[in-house]
Amino acid sequence: MTDERAAVDADDVARARAGDTAAFADLVRRHQDRVFRFIFRMLDARDEAMELTQDVFVKAWQALPAWRPEAGFATWLLQIARNAALDQLRRRQIVQFAPLENGLDVVDGAPGPEASYASRQRQQSLDRALTRIAPEHREILLLREVEGLAYGELARVLGIAEGTVKSRLARARAALLEQLHLHTGAAHE
Amino acid sequence: MNRTCPRDEALSALVDDALGAEARSQLLAHSAICPLCKARLVELRALHDAFAALPSLSLQIDLAPRVLARLQDEAKPAAGTGRHIRWPQRLMETIRRLTIGRIVLSPYAGATAAIGLGLWLGGMLVQLGDTASPPASNATLAAASFFGSIPPGNLCPRAGACGAPGSSQ
């Protein structure tokens, strides 16, 4: 996130803390897709993800007094989203995940019609493989690869040391590659 | 990978561009001559590219009005009676959502119907007491005589054993 956007966020948070709901609405609009995207890929359920995204913003509103600018609003929101998603997974007690194509009916920003068949196949394989790895691996990969969080931000969101971030990312990638190899039948090492 | 190969962790960090300049150049030099590490690096980079190619999911709706409505809903009771009553409200909200018609099938309609039924039954008992057994001032006892051991129309075993003195069955 650029410093400019972080400054806009900080300004809106300050106004929201003072009771300005319009400022909070701006924050919601600016971050809703990011929160939804992360939760949706964690849970693989659109309606649940949409409901939980709203919960995240309600929790964020309630926790606004505790927010500190050095945390970064987007990172802080993802931390709330991550906790909410894990709670939901615990509630569902999911061990094996359903294939993602059942829930992937969200409009995407990619140019659908012109996307090649092979590219779509790769995306579906990746989505499917993501649902088959452990939640702790899935979350770190989504936060790193999709949301682009730096190692320090990952450590803060996940509540682990930066060294652990490095090793967990490596294990998560290995697990995901293994799932992809299993699915495609390719040889591995 | 053999014993001299770097750990997967280092290759993963290389893909994230999270290595120092020296470590990075050493790793790249090794990968150039080690087919196993080279293949692994290609895999990790392909994975990175695959993530980058994932469609950017979008909600396509504005969540802000919904979130603000929920904040308003939660703020109203919290101001008056405290946050501990939130769960009953949520329960009521769930029941309300489950019912089709808000007026006909709402919990309030159910409560009103229960109170009305109670009043009607109570009224019947009072009327029964007034007509069937005038001397009995207690309406409940009069109603309970329906369930007495002597069926209606039977003779009393002895005088005064049934009903009030002076009455005959």
Q: Residues A33-92: pLDDT tens digits?
A: 999 999 999 999 999 999 999 999 999 999 999 898 888 899 999 999 999 999 999 988
ipTM: 0.80
Indicate if the pLDDT at residue B162 is higher than 70: no
Task: Supply the CATH classification number for the domain A1-94.
Answer: 1.10.1740.10
Tell me which residue in B18, B57, B68 faces A151 most closely, judged by beta carbons: B18
Judge whether A63 is closer than 8 Å to chain B, CB to CB: no
B1:A189 CB<8 A = yes
- Nearest-CA distance from A142 to chain B in Å? 9
| Best to test chain A binding among B7, B45, B54 (most A CBs inside 10 Å) | B54
Least confidently predicted of A51-55, A157-161, B148-152:
B148-152
Q: Do B70 and A126 touch (CB under 8 A)?
A: no
| A107 at interface of B, judged by CB pairs closer than 8 A | yes
pLDDT at residue B96, rounded to an integer: 60
**Maximum distance among all alpha carbons in chain B?**
121
Question: Average pLDDT for residues A85-113, to the nearest whole number?
Answer: 60
The pLDDT, as a whole number, for residue A38 is 96
Query: Given this model, what pLDDT does residue B27 score?
Result: 93
Chain centroid, CA A23 distance in Å: 23
Cβ contacts of A126 on chain B, cutoff 8 Å: 50-51, 54
Roughly what angle, to the nearest 10 degrees, separates helices A21-43 and A3-17?
120
pLDDT above 90 (res A158) = yes
B127: tokens are 């009327």
Put simply, the answer to whether A33 touches B59 (Cβ < 8 Å) is yes
Residue B165 in this model has a pLDDT that exceeds 60: no
Q: At what angle do helices A21-43 and A73-92 cross, to 10 degrees?
A: 50
- CA atoms of A52 and A57, how far apart (whole Å): 9
CB half-sphere exposure, A88, CA atoms < 13 A: 22
Nearest to A36 among B13, B36, B59 (CB): B59
Higher pLDDT, A2 or A189: A2
pLDDT on residue A153: 94
Q: Span A17-41, mean pLDDT?
A: 95
A106 pLDDT more than 70: no
Alpha-carbon span A119 to A99, nearest angstrom: 18
Residues B107-134: tens digit of each pLDDT: 667 788 888 888 888 888 777 655 544 4
With contacts defined as CB-CB under 8 Å, which chain A residues touch B60? 107
A96–chain B nearest CA distance, Å: 22
Chain A neighbours among B 55-84 (CB < 8 Å)? Answer: 55-60, 62-68, 70-71, 74
Model confidence at A111: pLDDT above 80: no
Q: For the residues B17-33, what does the mean pLDDT come to?
A: 94
Which of B43, B51, B64 is the closest to A28 by Cβ? B64
Q: pLDDT digit string (tens) for B44-82?
A: 999 999 999 988 888 889 999 999 999 998 877 544 444
CB A101 within 8 A of CB A42: no
**Which residue among A107, A146, A180 sits closest to B54, beta carbon to beta carbon?**
A146
pLDDT band at A186 (very low <50, low <70, confident <90, very high): low
CATH 1.10.10.10: does it fit domain A111-189?
yes
Among candidate residues B55, B59, B56, the one with its CA nearest the CA of residue A120? B55
Q: Is the pLDDT of residue B169 over 70?
A: no
Start and end residues for every CATH 1.10.10.10 domain found in chain A: 111-189
Q: Which residue of A has its CA nearest to B64?
A: A25
Interacting residues of A37 by C-beta distance below 8 A, sequence separation 6+: A146, A147, B56, B57, B58
Q: What angle do CA A113, A119, A121 make, to 5 degrees?
A: 100
User: Collapsing DSSP states into helix, strand and coil, what is residue A108?
Assistant: strand
State how far the Cα of B157 lies from the Cα of A38, in Å rounded to an integer: 85
The pLDDT of residue B167 is 46
Task: Residue window 65-104, chain A: list those with CB within 8 Å of chain B.
Answer: none
Q: What integer pLDDT is reported at residue B77 of this predicted model?
A: 59
Contact yes or no for A106 and B13 at CB 8 A? no
Query: Residue B143: is its pLDDT beyond 70?
Result: no
> What is the predicted pLDDT for the residue at A167?
95
